[in-house]
C-alpha cells in the first residue's frame, strides 16, 4: 500500500537516515516508514518522533529487506498524544484491508485499542 493512500495521509517526509534525525520533531505523532517507491513497510507512533527515528536506525530492524524494498522514507503526521493509538490503529486497519489482513512487513503486532 502506498503511503499516499492512507487517510489521513502523513503530511511530512524525511529521508530515513541519521542526518535527518535532527529534522524530525521532538513531538508526538504517527509515522510510516516506506521503501523508495513509497510502499509502506512499517506503521508506528511515538511521543518523540526524533527519538523514535533514531531508535529504529540504531536497532537495524529497518535494514531488513522486504518484498517491496528496504526502509528509505520516514513520513509523519504530528498528533496529540491522546489520539496516537487511534491514528496508528486506523492506518494499520487501512493497510490490512488493502492487503487481505496482513500487517506491514516489519510490523509484528497490532496497536493497542
Q: How far is residue 45's CA from residue 47's CA, in Å, rounded to a whole number?
A: 7
pLDDT at 109 over 90: no
pLDDT at 108: 84
109 secondary structure, DSSP code: S
pLDDT tens for each residue of 55-83: 999 998 888 899 999 999 999 999 999 99
pLDDT at 91 over 90: yes
pLDDT tens for each residue of 9-57: 999 999 999 999 999 999 999 999 999 999 999 999 999 999 999 999 9
Closest CA to 87 of 62, 111, 55: 111
Alpha helix stretches (DSSP H) within the chain: 49-59, 84-98
pLDDT at 64: 86
- Domains of the chain, with CATH numbers? 3-98 (3.40.1440.10)
Amino acid at each position: 500500500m502506498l503511503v499516499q493512500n492512507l487517510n489521513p495521509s502523513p503530511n511530512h517526509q524525511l529521508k530515513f537516515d541519521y542526518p535527518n534525525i535532527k529534522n524530525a520533531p521532538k513531538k508526538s505523532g504517527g509515522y510510516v516508514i516506506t521503501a523508495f517507491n513509497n510502499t509502506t513497510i512499517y506503521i508506528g507512533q511515538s511521543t518523540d518522533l526524533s527519538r523514535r527515528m533514531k531508535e529504529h536506525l540504531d536497532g537495524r530492524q529497518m535494514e531488513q529487506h522486504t518484498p517491496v524494498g528496504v526502509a528509505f522514507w520516514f513520513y509523519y503526521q504530528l498528533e496529540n498524544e491522546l489520539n496516537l493509538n487511534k491514528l496508528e490503529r486506523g492506518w494499520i486497519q487501512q493497510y490490512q484491508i488493502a492487503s487481505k489482513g496482513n500487517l506491514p512487513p516489519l510490523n509484528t503486532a497490532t496497536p493497542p485499542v
